[in-house]
A and B are shown apart, each in its own frame.
Chain A
Amino acid sequence: MMSPSVLLLLGWMLVPLTMTIYFSFLRYNLLNPGTESFTGWTNYYYFVTDPSFTDALVNTISIFGGVLFITTVGGVGFSLLLDQPMWKSGLIRMLVIAPFFVMPTVSALVWKNMFMNPVNGFFGQIATFLGLQPFDFFGQAPLLSVIWIISWQWLPFATLILLTALQSLDRDQLEASEMDGANSFSRFIFIILPHLARPITVAILIQTIFLLSIFAEILVTTNGGPGTATTNLTYLIYVQSLLQFDVGAGSAGGVIAIILANIVAIFLMRMIGKNLE
């Protein structure tokens, strides 16, 4: 009974993957059909030595590191707060996690136009109102602005996971430690944080899968610019293949992206695999 799904996934994985690897060794441009020829490692050489590859790699890591830092630290703080006894906790929790349900193109456009636009945006209006110089977010700090928008979407995810984990924490243990005179700081360091270690790792690894492939947010806000200031690996490959029609170089980039993702995947699989025992 499992064979249909196995076959489907096997096809989904093998067919395009083989094609990508095959194309990556061809000189193949969609603008000159019929001129495909074998070029060996040339595509890889050009893709890797192109300065925009280094930029894209640095940007990918910056987005990834920046967003993970904000969502992890923020997520621990938010979840500890939401775990406190309060009224209307369901409503408040929904307000906090709502951004996660907003589609990427909407959140990117809303932040870019309605908040970060220096003339009519919310922040610009407030600054003008207070007599300050409005800050041109995408002109002055494009990468940080992109990181901010992505963090806004993923902070709720981290919060939700950590909150779920906190709610399975043994309350008796906390109370016992309190009786024994542990203050809230040492309770956090010695009981809560170790309990959260695993969910934090899982949240980080899962975000990694998505963060390495960020695309829509960049397309909608900056188109990778100015220059290559916000081009990540995914966006660079998109430009190579669907805008410049260079199938060979795009495929070589694709293979590199797959290898990078696999390195992360190995760690993630180990974590989840343990859970199957």
Chain B
Amino acid sequence: MRAISNNRKALNTAIALTLGLFMSFPIIWILILSFKSELDAIGNPLQVLLSSWTLDSFSTVQGRSDYLKHFSNSVIISLGSTFLALLVAIPSAWAMAFVPGKQTKNILMWMLSTKMLPPVGVLIPIYLLFRDYGLLDTRAGLVIILTLINLPIIIWMLYTYFKEIPVDILEAARMDGAGLKQEILYVLTPMAIPGISSTLILNIILAWNEAFWTINLTASNAAPLTAFIASYSSPEGLFYAKLSAASIMAIAPILIMGWFSQKQLVRGLTFGAVK
């Protein structure tokens, strides 16, 4: 590599930083607004910046709308659906990666094709089934739906990771006298864990932000944050400080997870087509 002058680097950094601040400005702005009083938050930008800081909005949001209930709904639904899907997906991806049959490729492609089914195409049957089986506005119902929706992505992602575990290493372990139990415990598990954990993170992000089924299948009891925030559309949405506080709390956990999983995200979302 050629040496790159510090001036050039400084220029690049300045341009890219401006771009980054421009893209994330709405997030930065609501972060600021969430620490302002309702009155200051609707002032002009200069007034907003100069006014005093307060934590009031965060406590008001919780006090008035039972924010924690919706937050825990989001946690339960996204974690529940992710773990359930992993439970089904791990053996399946494992089998396809290590013992591929003639139909493996077709099965994988077919699984992917279920992901292309537009949700609105099956909205009515799912809604009616949920109504008849008492699953409307329950967390269990959403866990089931989100498990099914994200199952193809999970299987695919695990498959691409498992594929990269060299089969030779298993033979080597066997030659050294490892039994099946030792093989799984000491050879396969450590190699599979990075893939499984990034699949887990990606899926939590997707489930947390899912906003079609969560809005259409819940009312007040099981509503996760996506549906709860949607209920702010009017007139509460005009209370900027409260809306900002609610929004910041809703996106913060995912922003942090996203920070750690950028690379895996690309791989998962492109079904392994871009690494």
Q: Which A residues form the contact surface with B (CB < 8 A)?
A: 1-2, 4-6, 8-9, 12-13, 15-17, 19-20, 23, 78, 81-82, 84-89, 91-107, 109-115, 117, 120, 122, 125-126, 128-129, 152, 155-157, 160-161, 164-165, 168, 171, 175, 198-199, 202-203, 206, 209, 212-213, 215-216, 219-221, 233-234, 237-238, 241-242, 247, 250-251, 253-255, 257-258, 260-262, 264-265, 268-269, 271-273, 275-276
Bound together, the chains give a CA A37 to CA B232 distance in angstroms of 40
Q: How far is the CA of A109 from the CA of B168 in the complex (A)?
A: 53
Query: Chain A interface: which of B22-30, B59-67, B174-182, B188-196?
Result: B22-30
User: Please, which residues of chain B bring their CB within 8 A of the CB of A161?
Assistant: 266, 269-270, 274
Residue in A closest to B257 when the chains form the complex, CB atoms: A101
Q: Would you list 11 pairs from A and B whose C-beta atoms are within 8 A, ordered by A residue? A: A4-B88, A15-B125, A20-B122, A84-B16, A106-B247, A122-B29, A129-B46, A241-B123, A254-B122, A254-B123, A262-B116
> Do B26 and A94 touch (CB < 8 A)?
no
B9 at the interface (CB under 8 A from A): yes
Within 8 A of A (CB), among B154-205: 155, 205
Task: Name the B residues within 8 Å of A93 (CB-CB).
Answer: 20, 262
A2 touches B125 (CB 8 A): no
Besides A2-B95, A254-B122, A269-B116, 18 more A-B contacts (Cβ < 8 Å) are A8-B148, A15-B129, A17-B122, A17-B125, A19-B124, A78-B19, A87-B13, A91-B20, A105-B215, A114-B33, A215-B120, A219-B233, A255-B121, A257-B118, A264-B116, A269-B109, A269-B112, A273-B109
Q: Is B53 an interface residue (CB 8 A)?
A: no
Q: Answer whether A209 and B115 are a contact pair too, CB < 8 Å, given A4-B88, A96-B19.
A: yes
**Nearest residue, chain A, Cβ from B30:** A110
Q: By the criterion CB–CB under 8 Å, are A275 and B123 in contact?
A: no
- Contact residue among B26, B155, B208, B273 (Cβ-Cβ distance under 8 Å from A202): B273
Give chain B residues whose Cβ lies under 8 Å from the Cβ of A129. Answer: 44-46
Please tell me if the beta carbons of B88 and A107 are within 8 angstroms of each other in the complex.
no
Tell me if B113 and A98 are in contact (CB < 8 A). Answer: no
A100: chain B residues at CB < 8 Å are: 258
B91 and A171 contacting across the interface, CB-CB below 8 Å: no
Which 4 residue pairs of A and B lie closest in terms of their CB atoms, listed nearest first? Answer: A95-B20, A19-B125, A216-B211, A16-B122
Across the interface, which residues of A come within 8 angstroms of B212, CB to CB?
213, 215-216
- Residues of A near B95 (CB, < 8 A) are 1-2
CA distance A156 to B259 in the complex (A): 13
Asked if residues B117 and A13 are in contact (CB atoms below 8 Å), the reply is: yes
In the assembled complex, the CB of A234 is this many whole angstroms from the nearest CB of chain B, namely: 4
Contact check: which of B13, B108, B109 meets A86 at CB < 8 Å?
B13
Residue of B nearest to A23 (CB): B124
B23–A242 touching, CB < 8 Å:
no
Least Cβ–Cβ distance between B154 and chain A, in angstroms: 9
Cα(A103)–Cα(B206), bound, Å: 9
Within 8 Å CB of B4, what residues of A? 85
B142 within 8 A of A: no
Residues of chain A within 8 A of B1, CB atoms compared: 171
Chain B CB within 10 Å, residue with most, of A102, A237, A250: A102
| Cβ proximity bits B1-18 to A, threshold 8 Å, 1 near / 0 not | 110100011101101110
Inter-chain CA distance A105–B218, complex, in Å, is 15
Which among B16, B155, B250 has the greatest number of chain A C-beta atoms within 10 A?
B16
CA distance A168 to B125 in the complex (A): 45
B102 within 8 A of partner (CB): no
Q: How far is the CA of A213 from the CA of B212 in the complex (A)?
A: 9
**Complex interface: chain B residues within 8 A of A206 (CB):** 269-270
Question: How far is A175 from B3 in the complex, measured between Cα atoms in Å?
Answer: 13
- A91 cross-chain contacts in B, Cβ below 8 A: 20
A89 cross-chain contacts in B, Cβ below 8 A: 16
Q: How far is the CB of B22 from chain A (nearest CB, A)?
A: 9
B1, B257, B265, most chain A CB atoms within 10 A: B265
List of A residues within 8 angstroms of B243 by Cβ: 109-110, 113-114
Which of B88, B114, B209, B227 touches A13 (beta carbons < 8 Å)? B114
Segment 68-121 of B: residues with Cβ below 8 Å from A: 88-89, 91-92, 94-96, 105, 107-109, 111-121
Q: How distant is the Cα of A241 from the Cα of B81 in the complex, in angstroms?
A: 27
- Output the least CB separation between B199 and chain A (Å): 14
A residues near B13, Cβ cutoff 8 Å:
86-88, 92
- Give Cα A89 to B15, complex, Å: 12
